[in-house]
Copies of this chain bind each other. A is one copy, B any other.
Amino acid sequence: MSISGQKQGNSGSDKPVQDRLLDAAEQLFSDHGFEGTSVRDIASAAGCNIAAVNYYFGGKDKLYTEVWRRHLVQMRDARLHAIEQVMSESGGKPALEDLLRSFANAFLGPFRDESRSRRFMNLMAREMIDQRVPVNMFIDEVVKPTMSAVRGALLRACPGLDESKIWLLIVFLAGQLMHVVHVKTMFEQSEIAEIPAFDLNEAVDHIVKFSAAGIRAYANGETK
């Protein structure tokens, strides 16, 4: 059998054991937190033996980071794909607003699906209080590749942009989007029904308009 093979006739479900463990762990970590979840609970929910956690992931901590890695690569791919699509649709010279809107929508994608977003929200709220994922992983898996892609696309959309200052603009853009995520997270946790559902589209419109104006002002100031 090959080293990366998967068994076929497993007992609990049709999914391989690794995925069942990741799914069960994500649900339990989201509901009860890292310390409040035991590997026995996870293995039981995944329908497999306790030792499988160590066999496949090398420990509870590693399993937790792998739960996150799954989300991180998904985020990265969604953002990279959004940028590539705008680039190809515009023949390599996208309108600034289109680029910003596409990226913002990809950024906020995980929070649009109401059914799955709650689990991810809880996971994120917990991770924001107790940081357990190594920062390097977050930087390497998401920030670096996303940033360089946005950077390239921004330069095509706004040729007059100063290359030395472009990182600041991207950080600022991501900061606005993270802000939206934070507000949305808070609204989800709030049980007070009085507050209407937070409108992501409205937030995206604002950020696109605001950032486009800011970036253009920046570009003109540098080139004049």
Contacts and interface: CB of A to CB of B under 8 A. Distances in A.
A194 B195 CA distance: 26
Contact of A33 (B130, B179, B195): B130
A130 B36 contact: yes
A128 interface: yes
A28 to B, nearest CB: 13
A185 B186 CA distance: 9
Contact of A122 (B129, B183, B186, B192): B129
A179 B187 CA distance: 9
A166 B125 CA distance: 35
- Interface magnitude class on chain A: 20 to 34
A176 B194 CA distance: 9
A178 B125 CA distance: 18
A189 interface: yes
Contact of A128 (B33, B178, B179, B189): B189
A189 B130 CA distance: 11
A152 interface: no
Interface of A: 32-33, 35-36, 122, 125-126, 128-130, 172, 175-176, 178-179, 182-183, 185-187, 189-190, 192, 194-195
Given A36-B130, A128-B189, 6 more contacts: A33-B129, A122-B129, A125-B129, A178-B190, A179-B190, A182-B190
16 contacts: A33-B33, A33-B130, A35-B35, A36-B130, A125-B125, A125-B129, A175-B192, A175-B195, A176-B194, A178-B190, A178-B192, A179-B195, A182-B187, A183-B186, A185-B186, A186-B186
